[in-house]
Structure 1
Amino acid sequence: MPEKFGAPERAALLVLMLESRQVPNPELANLHRVKLTPQGRARLNKAGLMRTSDDVRPMVHEITDEGIAWCLQDLVDGDLPPRSTSHARVVFGLLKKFVRHHQDRGTLVDVIRSRDIESLIRSVYEELAVEPQDWIRLARIRPRLNGAERGEVDETLVKMMKTGTVHLAPESNTKVLTAEDHAAALRVGSEDLHLVAMEES
């Protein structure tokens, strides 16, 4: 049985596992509605389940391998809070069956940690962009895509470009291009595209 934590700590770990990246504290609170107290944060860090980088502003949190293992065990053995609704209890029971099914087949981590490539690209872009429609180098985006296959990423970028809300362009000043820029470029026709900008969704 995994160590007991309160609902905010359990929720924080699940968010970090599903996001599979560093999550800024304001995003955890405002987007995911998880209010992690300093005491709860300290407990999770001390237990080695997540790492908090508080030398940057805002601070960011990232789950560890031990944290992932804890979450997977908690999904099977954990209990809902006493005042949970009947619907929540039924859904939680179904989730346990789902978890056990994939756990028995060794596919659970792959299912939980997988992310839609387009969502991942957008998420990384938003982390790097200073302002809306900021031009970001593909060489900065590709290394942050959790090892996604290049072919899948390229295909997804082309599909995103066809929506008209995602723009890819070559670097006009070729003298500033690095070896990383050349390697990360997306080839469309006879043109290498090095930069991406996205309109707000």
Structure 2
Amino acid sequence: MAAELTAAEYAYLIILEAEGREISNNEMAELYEVRLRKPDYEKLNADGYVISTTKRNPFRHVITDKGSKVLGEALTIDQYRAGEGVKRSAGERQLFWAAMVAQQKLLLAKRNGTSAVIKKPEPADLDGRIRAAYTKLAGAPGDYVNLTELRPLISDASKGEVDKALVRLLDSPDVRLEPEPFGHRIGAEERKAAVHIGGEDRHKLAIGLR
């Protein structure tokens, strides 16, 4: 399996494994000074190692179970050896150093008996986290899910940050936020979880509408 991967692709998998979540190119650049771009993300997606969200910038990426599994396969020291006289570019050297930083994050977490240290995302990165949380809850793209179910999945972010991200998401053509049509179903929890837009409370989110 690992033989299918280039050294660069393998390095990106290590970074995504260390983060253990969907991460945007902007945040990857902030943390590791690299971005996962074409053709690397296309190859990793095609091989089933990574899932990328590319409908809007910044692109977002998350490692799959298959990607995590391939990292557990043994490598040999000569597997990705550059040919004699071949020099690595500055970009390649930065990518490989970024993978070393990510690998150390995993090693330190294992040594300390904790999960890998994850930087709290900036508000803009909540867009991708909301989409990921929605995917976990929705039976199919376009199904409506209650904000009372979605907010606990991103509870480390404040309500104000999540509200701003939800409003941003409405700029996407596949996103809808609607009020609960049956008033008797609106209780204290629904009112607390709602986002106020256009003079009304919105209680339900749908992503993937065409």
Distance 1:85 1:134, change over 3 A: farther
Say yes or no: does 1:93 pair with 2:97: yes
| Superposition map of 1:164-183 within 5 A | 164-183=173-192
Distance 1:196 1:92, change over 3 A: same
Following superposition, the deviation at residue 98 of structure 1 comes to 8.5
TM-score (norm 1): 0.54
SS of aligned partner of 2:201: strand
Q: Distance in 2 between matches of 1:15 and 1:200?
A: 30
Following superposition, the deviation at residue 165 of structure 1 comes to 1.7
Asked whether the equivalents of residues 147 and 194 of structure 2 are also in contact (C-alpha less than 8 Å), the reply is: yes
For 2:127, the equivalent position in structure 1 comes to 118
Distance 1:191 1:81, change over 3 A: farther
SS of aligned partner of 2:20: helix
Q: Distance in 1 between matches of 2:202 and 2:154?
A: 18
Q: Give the aligned residue type for 2:69.
A: L
Question: Which shows bigger deviation, 167-176 or 11-20?
Answer: 11-20
For 1:15, the equivalent position in structure 2 comes to 17
Task: Considering fraction of residues, name the structure with more helix.
Answer: 1
Q: Distance in 2 between matches of 1:84 and 1:180?
A: 54
Q: Distance in 1 between matches of 2:14 and 2:98?
A: 21
Q: Distance in 1 between matches of 2:162 and 2:173?
A: 18
Q: Distance in 1 between matches of 2:177 and 2:133?
A: 15
Percent of aligned pairs with the same amino acid: 26
Question: Which shows bigger deviation, 147-156 or 132-141?
Answer: 147-156
Distance 1:97 1:192, change over 3 A: closer
SS of aligned partner of 1:162: coil
- TM-superposition CA deviations, 1:154-181 (whole Å, max 9, x none): 1111111122321000001010123211
- TM-superposition CA deviations, 1:65-110 (whole Å, max 9, x none): xxxxxxxxxxxxxxx752135559733235446898xx9xxxx935
Aligned residues: 138
For 1:161, the equivalent position in structure 2 comes to 170
Q: Distance in 2 between matches of 1:117 and 1:35?
A: 24
For 1:3, the equivalent position in structure 2 comes to none
Say yes or no: does 1:199 pair with 2:208: yes
For 1:190, the equivalent position in structure 2 comes to 199
Following superposition, the deviation at residue 191 of structure 1 comes to 0.3
For 2:136, the equivalent position in structure 1 comes to 127
Asked whether the equivalents of residues 29 and 36 of structure 1 are also in contact (C-alpha less than 8 Å), the reply is: no
Distance 1:121 1:81, change over 3 A: farther
Q: Distance in 2 between matches of 1:137 and 1:118?
A: 17
5+ residue gaps, structure 1, are 1-7, 21-27, 41-79
Asked whether the equivalents of residues 133 and 198 of structure 1 are also in contact (C-alpha less than 8 Å), the reply is: yes
Distance 1:182 1:36, change over 3 A: same
CA RMSD of aligned residues (A): 3.9
Q: Distance in 2 between matches of 1:132 and 1:98?
A: 33
